[in-house]
Chain A
Amino acid sequence: MDTNATPLTGQRSDAVLKVDSIVTRFGREVIHDGVSFTVERGEVVALIGGSGTGKSVLVKEVIGLLRPAGGIVQLLDTDVWNCGQEEMNALRRRFGMLFQDGALFSSLTVAENIAVPFLEHTDLPAELIPPLVGFKLALVGLPPEAGAKMPAELSGGMRKRVALARALALEPEILFLDEPTSGLDPIGARAFDSMVRVLSDSLGLTVFIVTHDLDTLLSIIDRVIVLSAGKVIADGRVDAVMQLDDPWIRDYFSARAPAARGGN
């Protein structure tokens, strides 16, 4: 994977996501205590942190599913927690979300799952939708026959691919992935990673990944944000963050780094 080919040095450097001093509390427990960061257009950014540091919660707050106790989320120039229903619905068409286990609708076939965004958010004629759905399947590397299957018949990796196809249906500008490689075998995980990178490079997609997977970090990520004890403790290029002197970061990278590097 050629990480240098990424448009990090891009012509336009406009922020697609600005998270400003987010505070989250569950009861008395403080999950986030002033989390701030920015994501630029075209970047592939990873959010890492130990279990229970509220990574998935943060993503839910960013995409408008869970209201933070304080702070501002500015997604594609819309203030997520301070805008009308109409504005929010317009925003929802501009980002895609891949949930941890795919979250495919179990009563619909794969093709119907992917067709849902087209049917709900566009007025495309009925004859255009099946070919588009077939194309989206091809885009994530699935054969067209997969369209007729039910989600229950799919393997974990295929499920995630279908979910990705659904998330990509409306040509989002930013894509959120929650643990995209968890539960996949290493080969499947690497294939998924490289697919995400290819898509991001060619579609100019901004990708925000919540992950535990060190191999993902080392292969496709431009920038990593480390969340610990409710704060962002590091934010920068992977190799720079690796050198930082923080106990958690050290443990995290030393835990698997030799093997991972050996593999690359």
Chain B
Amino acid sequence: MSEAGRWIHHEVEEGADILYLTGVWRLSNLIAIADALRALGLAARKHFVLDGSRLQELDTAASFILYRYLATIGCTEAMVSARRFARKHERLLALVHERMACPPAAGKSMHLGLLQRLGAAAINMWRLLQSHNAFVGALALELLSLIRRPKLFRLKETVSQFETICLDAIPIVALVTFLIGVVFAYLLGLQAQRYGANIFVVDGVGLAICRELSPLLVAVIVAGRSGAAFTAQIGTMKVQEEIDAISTLGLSPIQVLVIPRLAAITIALPLLVFVGDLMGIAGGMLIAAWQLDIFASTFLDRLHSVLPMSAPVVGMVKAPVFAAFIAIIACRMGMLVARDARSVGMNTTSTVVQSVVWVIVLDAVFAVVFQRLEI
């Protein structure tokens, strides 16, 4: 028997076209069946009779392929009839026949041109900024009402947030800033040694760590750690309709969820920056002693005389501003989560990206402002 004959056999009996279905018509044999049908090379006739007497098994996929083939060669429903099928196969064929709308290929995902995508991205960005703005407004109103009714403030929630944002972050913040202190002092030392200006490494490390590196790095760490967590927490609550439940209970989601986080992170970040200052300087001190023969006492003495108080203060003034931006972006993105798991992931990513970008933009703005103010 030929390969095609294993599945389907065409015979003309008494002027009628009979198609004998043979063997196991199941999904696992679907490719061979489709090939066999194509190999038949039938043209549309007046009438086809499907014969099931030689059929062992049949499933919906195989029946669908058969009807689809008959449709492609131009057979209409009225031109096909079935005979000698087992009762269950008959029922199955009937169901497939009934449900078979000719399905168009599944909708292709839209491919936009470069310009269109650019435009769509710009519009989305604009809308996002607008909605951030509106959110800041709502937040400000809630903060005002907090001044009138201080009892609304959720101290317990704030303290527990503070613990996860600040205390739990100390090890990672300490490690990262310490290592940056080491790297910075090492590179600076290499240059300073050439000119015999070893002692100026102290000036450089102190200023850079306190004024720029520590605030920036700590903000980035907190954005990645706590900002992402805010979005994921609030987003998951949104998916579970917990936010709606909060509103329904007569509470304001901003009071319950956003303000404690905002307060905690605004207090936590300057403190973490202080930890970062100390650890960064400690890292620099280690390298200074090891590579440049500046001992700790000399280092501290020099630091005391050259590092203006304004440097760490500037760093710690910037921190709460970074913190507020991170909290607002993170909570906002959490609230914007749609009702599915995927958007929690997307918004969390977006929170981290937006926070880091904003932190750097703000840092640049601060640099210019402080320059003008000659601080």
Chain A residues with CB under 8 Å of chain B are: 7, 106-107, 109, 111, 122-125, 128, 130-135, 137-139, 141, 143-145, 147-148, 150-152, 168, 170-171, 198-199, 201-204
Chain B residues lying within 8 Å of A135, measured Cβ to Cβ, are 60-61, 64, 68, 96, 99-100, 103
Q: Is the C-beta of B297 less than 8 angstroms from some C-beta in chain A?
A: no
B342 in contact with A106 (CB, 8 Å): yes
Q: Given A135-B99, A152-B338, A202-B95, are A122 and B107 also a contact pair (CB < 8 Å)?
A: no
B59 in contact with A147 (CB, 8 Å): no
B104 in contact with A203 (CB, 8 Å): no
Complex CA gap A16/B65 in Å reads 28
The 3 closest A-B pairs by CB, nearest first: A134-B103, A148-B107, A111-B106
Complex CA gap A197/B339 in Å reads 31
Complex CA gap A13/B101 in Å reads 35
**Closest Cβ–Cβ distance, residue B35 to chain A (whole Å):** 10
B106 in contact with A171 (CB, 8 Å): no
B27 in contact with A170 (CB, 8 Å): yes
Chain A residues lying within 8 Å of B27, measured Cβ to Cβ, are 122, 170-171
Chain A residues lying within 8 Å of B59, measured Cβ to Cβ, are 171, 203
A128 in contact with B30 (CB, 8 Å): yes
B94 in contact with A202 (CB, 8 Å): yes
Chain B residues lying within 8 Å of A148, measured Cβ to Cβ, are 106-107
Complex CA gap A106/B345 in Å reads 11
A171 in contact with B105 (CB, 8 Å): no
Chain B residues lying within 8 Å of A201, measured Cβ to Cβ, are 91
Q: Which residue of A lies closest to B90 (CB)?
A: A202
**Closest Cβ–Cβ distance, residue B79 to chain A (whole Å):** 20
B99 in contact with A139 (CB, 8 Å): yes
Complex CA gap A148/B64 in Å reads 21
Kindly supply a per-residue 1/0 record for chain B positions 21-34, scoring 1 wherever the CB is within 8 Å of any chain A CB and 0 otherwise: 00000111011001
**Closest Cβ–Cβ distance, residue A6 to chain B (whole Å):** 12
Chain B residues lying within 8 Å of A122, measured Cβ to Cβ, are 27-28, 30
Kindly supply a per-residue 1/0 record for chain B positions 315-351, scoring 1 wherever the CB is within 8 Å of any chain A CB and 0 otherwise: 0000000000000000000000011111100000000
A198 in contact with B95 (CB, 8 Å): yes
- CB within 8 Å of A: which of B96-119? 96, 99-101, 103-107, 109
Q: Is the C-beta of B36 less than 8 angstroms from some C-beta in chain A?
A: no
Chain A residues lying within 8 Å of B341, measured Cβ to Cβ, are 106
B342 in contact with A107 (CB, 8 Å): yes
Q: Is the C-beta of B237 less than 8 angstroms from some C-beta in chain A?
A: no
Q: Which of A131, A139, A203 contacts B68 (CB 8 A)?
A: A131
B92 in contact with A138 (CB, 8 Å): no
- Other A-B contacts than A137-B103, A144-B103, 5 sampled, CB-CB below 8 A, are A7-B88, A106-B340, A135-B99, A143-B101, A144-B101
Complex CA gap A199/B95 in Å reads 8
- CB within 8 Å of A: which of B48-94? 59-61, 64-65, 68, 88, 91-92, 94
Chain B residues lying within 8 Å of A109, measured Cβ to Cβ, are 106-107, 109
A128 in contact with B342 (CB, 8 Å): no
Complex CA gap A198/B91 in Å reads 9
- CB within 8 Å of A: which of B120-134? none
Query: Among A122, A199, A202, which residue has the most Cβ atoms of chain B within 10 A?
Result: A202
Complex CA gap A123/B29 in Å reads 10
11 A-B contact pairs sorted by A residue (CB < 8 Å): A130-B103, A130-B105, A133-B106, A135-B103, A139-B95, A144-B106, A145-B107, A150-B340, A168-B60, A202-B91, A202-B94
Chain A residues lying within 8 Å of B106, measured Cβ to Cβ, are 109, 111, 130, 133-134, 144, 147-148
Q: Given A134-B106, A152-B340, are A204 and B88 also a contact pair (CB < 8 Å)?
A: yes
Chain A residues lying within 8 Å of B343, measured Cβ to Cβ, are 106, 152
Chain A residues lying within 8 Å of B31, measured Cβ to Cβ, are 123-125, 128
**Closest Cβ–Cβ distance, residue A11 to chain B (whole Å):** 10
Chain A residues lying within 8 Å of B64, measured Cβ to Cβ, are 131-132, 135
Q: Given A106-B342, A130-B106, A144-B103, are A203 and B28 also a contact pair (CB < 8 Å)?
A: no
Complex CA gap A111/B106 in Å reads 7
Q: Which residue of A lies closest to B103 (CB)?
A: A134
Complex CA gap A116/B300 in Å reads 64
Complex CA gap A130/B30 in Å reads 14
Q: Given A134-B103, A171-B27, are A203 and B340 also a contact pair (CB < 8 Å)?
A: no
A151 in contact with B340 (CB, 8 Å): yes
A138 in contact with B342 (CB, 8 Å): no
Complex CA gap A145/B96 in Å reads 19
Complex CA gap A168/B59 in Å reads 11
**Closest Cβ–Cβ distance, residue B279 to chain A (whole Å):** 40
A111 in contact with B107 (CB, 8 Å): yes
**Closest Cβ–Cβ distance, residue B91 to chain A (whole Å):** 4
B88 in contact with A202 (CB, 8 Å): yes
Q: Which residue of A lies closest to B88 (CB)?
A: A204
Complex CA gap A147/B31 in Å reads 23
Q: Given A135-B103, A138-B103, A171-B26, are A203 and B342 also a contact pair (CB < 8 Å)?
A: no
Q: Which residue of A lies closest to B104 (CB)?
A: A144
Complex CA gap A150/B60 in Å reads 25
